[in-house]
Amino acid sequence: MMSDNKLNELKAYLKEKGSIAIAYSAGVDSTFLLKVAHDTLGDSCIAITGISEVFPHKEQDEASEFCKKEGIRQLILYPHEVEDEEFAKNPSNRCYICKHILFSRMKKMAAENGIAYIAEGSNLDDLGDYRPGLQAIKELEILSPLREVGLTKAEIRQYSKELGLPTWDKPSFACLSSRIPYGERITPEKLAMIEKAEDLISSLGIKQFRVRMQKDTARIETLPEDFPILLQDDNRNRIITEFKSFGFKYISLDLQGYRTGSLNEVLSSKKDN
């Protein structure tokens, strides 16, 4: 059992706000935050889930199922990020543009429903990578309770396990647009290809992975210990056949394995040069 110090700090922080809407994506962090917020504030806590092409159908379903199970009022927002030209161009600050669109509309929706604050689920570890979306969150005065009380990803997983949340060991997830290299245009068609490809890899029993799309190539990142699963003849042939039916011409396995923010590596190399 973990110490309840940070959990109690989180509850006190949330109680002080009175009413709050949690930006809910069904991920590890937002599920934990929503659970604690609803347990603390009751019906003064609601969930707002953004539904668009960058958010896989599987995650949408899990978000709805959790809210129904917990008796949490869930509002659905359709931000249509891909229709925004600046976002579709996929610049290096794509995440900033996306978060600004999403949270601006969430603030309006929350106000219309008598909710005083919006909160999102970033944690202390999220400060380590290149995350321009955090700038939009700061500018729009969105609350980040998990960061405020100093919770790390490992602590959130442990608390989630103790609370009996199904997401305690769920793999980390990022929106589908993060699979497309900066500068390559984001389209609904590309996002649909990526979603189908990742659904297939998931069906093989692999949990932590990404399918990166670079022009007409699918680059699979997974943990090295899962390489044998992908290379098993039946699985390999299935991946080749189905990925090509989705529209990919080439399929590759990244020998460096899964790592978060791998498409940010090009930004680091440019700075080094």
60-110 pLDDT, tens digit per residue, is 999 999 999 999 999 999 999 999 999 999 999 999 999 999 999 999 999
End-to-end CA distance of the chain: 48
pLDDT of 174: 86
Residue 269 confidence (pLDDT) above 50: no
pLDDT of 132: 82
pLDDT of 83: 95
259 vs 183, higher pLDDT: 183
Q: What is the pLDDT of residues 148-204, one digit of tens each?
A: 999 999 999 999 999 999 999 999 888 999 999 999 999 999 999 999 999 999 999
Q: What is the pLDDT of residues 223-233, one digit of tens each?
A: 999 999 999 99
Q: What is the pLDDT of residues 236-257, one digit of tens each?
A: 999 999 999 999 999 999 999 9
pLDDT of 272: 40
% of the chain at pLDDT higher than 70: 93
- Give CA separation, 158 vs 70, 95, 109, 182, in Å: 20, 28, 32, 34
Active site includes 175? Answer: yes
Q: What span, in angstroms and rounded, lies between the C-alpha atoms of 151 and 154? A: 8
pLDDT of 215: 93
Q: What span, in angstroms and rounded, lies between the C-alpha atoms of 35 and 165? A: 9
pLDDT band at 273 (very low <50, low <70, confident <90, very high): very low
The reported pTM is: 0.90
Residue 268 confidence (pLDDT) above 60: no
Please give the mean pLDDT across all residues of the chain: 93
Geometric angle at alpha carbon 145, from 92 and 177, rounded to 5°: 25
pLDDT of 129: 62
pLDDT of 133: 86
Residue 48 confidence (pLDDT) above 90: yes
E strands present in 73-216: 74-77, 117-119, 209-214
Q: Are 121 and 27 in contact (CB under 8 A)?
A: yes
CB atoms within 10 A of CB 46: 24
pLDDT of 262: 59
pLDDT of 267: 55
% of the chain at pLDDT higher than 90: 88
Residue 220 confidence (pLDDT) above 90: yes
